[in-house]
């Protein structure tokens, strides 16, 4: 079954310069655990100044470790420094993100982190930029079986279902056991494209609270969870109602109306039962 990765703090941070309170982050992690989300991306690992969720130093994020969910950090290839990753880190899962021209460096970094016993996602930004030479490099990477999954991103929100299927199959042919998908919502296709990724066998798909994220935003986590767990629809609504703002809560109610095929006037009655 496809896993859900909540990247609200990391991707949603573009909207507020990553200025989340500890209480907000703790509430989101708690909500994710209640709803069976497997991974929670808590921010970037770097030496940058600013919010602690841009650095994700062990001492600053260890308080968020909880049973029932796996925390991870994203590393942009351009931010890599050896001193960022200790062998005894609290957070042992890293998503290494690269552009096509950084692929060789990204693979080198993945191998360094694997040698330090980190669990790795390799994340290909704007996969449409990859050349046939890049796919050849991926196919011939002799340590690809050691990573959790290979992500491909619709970075500019230009994908339709056929694009998702095409790149998923192309990357699977490169020999990766697990392939994952990160959607953007510029064309309002994040939900549909993520469903296509799930249909073809994606290991995981990314989502954020109310679709918050850079550019066109992301797949709303409450939408995908409600759709995939329709028998728990009211429970999911109750869990997420405490972390959604008024407008997003209204949107979630309309999602419920669509899933249940009921008139807008009947949504409140359904939730009150």
* Predicted local distance difference test score (pLDDT) of residue 155: 97
Range of the domain at 235: 231-273
Sequence-distant (6+) residues with CB within 8 A of 36 are: 4, 225, 229
Distance CA(86)–CA(244), nearest Å, equals 36
The closest alpha carbon to 95, from 72, 65, 70, belongs to 72
Computed from CA positions of residues 28, 228, 12, 268, in that sequence, does the dihedral angle turn out positive or negative? negative
Q: Say if residue 148 is in the same domain as residue 218.
A: yes
Q: Say if residue 237 is in the same domain as residue 213.
A: no
Distance CA(1)–CA(36), nearest Å, equals 12
The closest alpha carbon to 5, from 37, 27, 51, belongs to 37
- Scored b (16 or more CB within 10 A) or e, 88-109 reads ebebbbbbbbbbbebbeebbeb
Q: Say if residue 222 is in the same domain as residue 249.
A: no
- Scored b (16 or more CB within 10 A) or e, 224-246 reads bbbbeeeeebeebbebbeebbee
Inter-residue contact 206 to 7 (CB < 8 Å): yes
Q: Say if residue 104 is in the same domain as residue 224.
A: yes
For the chain, how many structural domains are there in total? 2
Q: Say if residue 243 is in the same domain as residue 203.
A: no
* Predicted local distance difference test score (pLDDT) of residue 110: 98
Q: Say if residue 134 is in the same domain as residue 254.
A: no
Q: Say if residue 249 is in the same domain as residue 221.
A: no
180: exposed, middle or buried (C-beta count within 10 Å: 0-12, 13-18, 19+)? buried
Query: In this structure, how many other beta carbons lie within 10 angstroms of the beta carbon of residue 264?
Result: 9
Q: Say if residue 71 is in the same domain as residue 134.
A: yes
| DSSP assignment of 61-79 | HGGG--TTSEEEEEEEGGG
Question: Containing H/E element for 253?
Answer: helix 246-260
Sequence-distant (6+) residues with CB within 8 A of 148 are: 93, 119, 120, 121, 178, 203
Q: Say if residue 101 is in the same domain as residue 187.
A: yes
Q: Say if residue 192 is in the same domain as residue 106.
A: yes
Distance CA(153)–CA(71), nearest Å, equals 20
* Predicted local distance difference test score (pLDDT) of residue 273: 86
Distance CA(222)–CA(49), nearest Å, equals 32
pLDDT tens digits for 5-24?
999 999 999 999 999 999 99
Give the end-to-end CA distance of the chain in Å, rounded to a whole number.
30
Q: Say if residue 213 is in the same domain as residue 165.
A: yes
Per-residue pLDDT of the chain (273 residues; tens, 9 = 90+): 999 999 999 999 999 999 999 999 999 999 999 999 999 999 999 999 999 999 999 889 999 999 999 999 999 999 999 999 988 788 999 999 999 999 999 999 999 999 999 999 999 999 999 999 999 999 999 999 999 999 999 999 999 999 999 999 999 999 999 999 999 999 999 999 999 999 999 999 999 999 999 999 999 999 999 999 999 999 999 999 999 999 999 999 999 999 999 999 999 999 998
CATH number for the domain including 177? 3.20.20.70
Q: Say if residue 133 is in the same domain as residue 264.
A: no
What's the helix, strand, coil split of the chain in %, to 5?
A: 50, 15, 35
């Amino acid at each position: 079954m496809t896993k859900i990765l909540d990247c609200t703090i990391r991707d949603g941070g573009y909207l507020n310069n990553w200025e989340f309170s500890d209480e907000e982050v703790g509430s989101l992690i708690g909500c994710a655990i209640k709803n069976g989300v497997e991974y929670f991306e808590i921010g970037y690992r770097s030496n940058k100044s600013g919010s602690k969720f841009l650095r994700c130093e062990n001492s600053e994020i260890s308080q968020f470790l909880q049973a029932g969910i796996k925390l991870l950090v994203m590393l942009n290839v351009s931010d890599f420094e050896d001193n960022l990753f200790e062998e005894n880190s609290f957070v042992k899962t890293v998503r290494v993100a690269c552009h096509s021209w950084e692929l060789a460096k990204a693979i080198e970094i993945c191998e360094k982190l694997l040698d330090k016993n980190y669990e790795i996602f390799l994340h290909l930004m704007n996969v449409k930029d990859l050349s046939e030479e890049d796919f050849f490099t991926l196919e011939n990477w002799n340590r690809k079986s050691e990573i959790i999954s290979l992500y491909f991103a619709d970075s500019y929100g230009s994908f339709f279902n056929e694009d998702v299927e095409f790149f998923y199959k192309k990357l699977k042919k490169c020999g990766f056991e697990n392939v994952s998908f990160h959607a953007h919502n510029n064309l309002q296709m994040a939900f549909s494209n993520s469903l296509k990724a799930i249909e073809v066998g994606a290991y995981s798909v990314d989502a954020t609270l109310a679709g918050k994220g850079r550019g066109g935003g992301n797949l709303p986590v409450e939408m995908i969870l409600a759709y995939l767990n329709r028998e728990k629809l009211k429970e999911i609504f109750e869990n997420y109602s405490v972390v959604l703002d008024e407008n997003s809560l209204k949107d979630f109610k309309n999602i419920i109306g669509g899933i249940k095929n009921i008139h807008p006037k009947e949504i409140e009655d359904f939730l009150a039962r």
